[in-house]
Amino acid sequence: MATIARGAEAVIFLENFLGFTQVVKKIRVEKRYRVPHVDKTIRLHRTLSEARNMILAYKAGIPVPRVVDVDPYGYTIRIEYIPGETLRDLTARAIEDGDLGKVLSYYREAGIIVGKLHKIGIIHGDLSLTNFIVRSDGKLFIIDFGLSNRYNISNFELKEYLEACARDINVFLRNVEANFSNYAQELFNTFLKGYSEIVGQQAADRVVREIRRIRSLARYVVE
């Protein structure tokens, strides 16, 4: 079993498990600054929430890794390993080669994926470019639902849900701007095309307006 990542919330390993050649084993680590019973409750909730949201997404036909095993009281989840290249690295190489067009379809597909998640009430919570993986066959996957939440009602007319969707997508936009500022507008517009195909133009427009509102408040706070 090899450690492949160590974050603030969890340690991630790569291992063989029950006939699967490779699975990702994610263990949520204890936070010693928290009261022990509170820490256990938080880790249990987040482990179950991550697994549940991935299973719901998978059943809805959204390209996410399959959940292989969940040990809630061991705060552990095992997930299908998706080998491939991150959307960030793929975009960086395309820009270096002077051919941004070859990744635009992936940004549209990313928008479609996020739109499908939002349609079933799932807020991903960490839409960074490194959480989109392009497999060797060209299929795009979304990974890492560790910060995800699910709403019982996915209604874009409800202020709470609209704001949750906007904040979700704003993370994506900020990540694109931070990594590829000169190309951010084109990349994000392409993402929005895919998103609007799923949620509808009216809902997408509402989300974009809410993103603008959120970003204007952020600028005000900074000033």
Active site residue ranges: 126
7 CB contacts (<8 Å, ≥6 apart)? none
Q: Residue 77 corresponds to which tokens in the numbers above?
A: 């989840």
DSSP letter at 29?
A: P
The angle, 0 to 180 degrees and rounded to 10, between the axes of the packed helices 159-179 and 87-96 is 40
What type of residue sits at position 63? P
* CA-based torsion, 163, 168, 171, 174: positive or negative: negative
The owner of tokens 């680590």 is 29
Contact 141, 179 (CB under 8 A): no
205 CB contacts (<8 Å, ≥6 apart)? 196
Listed in sequence order, the DSSP H helices in the chain are 36-59, 87-96, 101-119, 159-179, 184-199, 201-222
CA nearest 145: which of 52, 16, 40, 41? 52
